[in-house]
Amino acid sequence: MVVLFCGLAGAFLLNLWGRTAPLKLIPLVDRSFLDTATVRRSYADLVAAKDDLSDFDCYACHERKKPPVLRYDANHKLIVPQEHSDIVMGHGEQGRNNNCFNCHDETNLEQLLARDGRVVKFQDSPQLCGSCHGPTFEDWEAGAHGRISGYWDRKLGAFKRQACVNCHNPHSPKFPSRKPAPGPHLLRPPIAVPTETADAN
Tell me whether residue 17 is in a domain.
Answer: no
Bigger pLDDT: 13 vs 16: 13
The 10s digit of each residue's pLDDT in 67-102 is 999 999 998 889 999 999 999 998 887 777 888 999
Tell me whether residue 182 is in a domain.
Answer: no
The 10s digit of each residue's pLDDT in 110-122 is 999 999 999 999 9
The maximal CA–CA distance of the chain, rounded, in angstroms, is 102
Average pLDDT on 22-37 reads: 79
pLDDT of res. 198: 47
Kindly state the DSSP code that residue 113 receives in the 8-state scheme: E
CB atoms within 10 A of CB 123: 14
Please classify residue 145 by burial: count the beta carbons closer than 10 Å to its beta carbon, then call 0-12 exposed, 13-18 middle and 19+ buried.
Answer: middle
How distant, in Å, are the alpha carbons of 22, 88, 166 from that of 38? 40, 20, 6
The 10s digit of each residue's pLDDT in 170-198 is 999 988 788 888 888 777 666 666 665 54
Between strands 112-113 and 119-120, the pairing is: antiparallel
Tell me whether residue 178 is in a domain.
Answer: no
How distant, in Å, are the alpha carbons of 14, 195, 196 from that of 200? 50, 15, 12
Tell me whether residue 4 is in a domain.
Answer: no
Q: What is the extent of the structural domain holding 45?
A: 34-166
Bigger pLDDT: 66 vs 152: 66
Count how many domains the chain has: 1
Tell me whether residue 174 is in a domain.
Answer: no
- Model confidence, pTM: 0.73
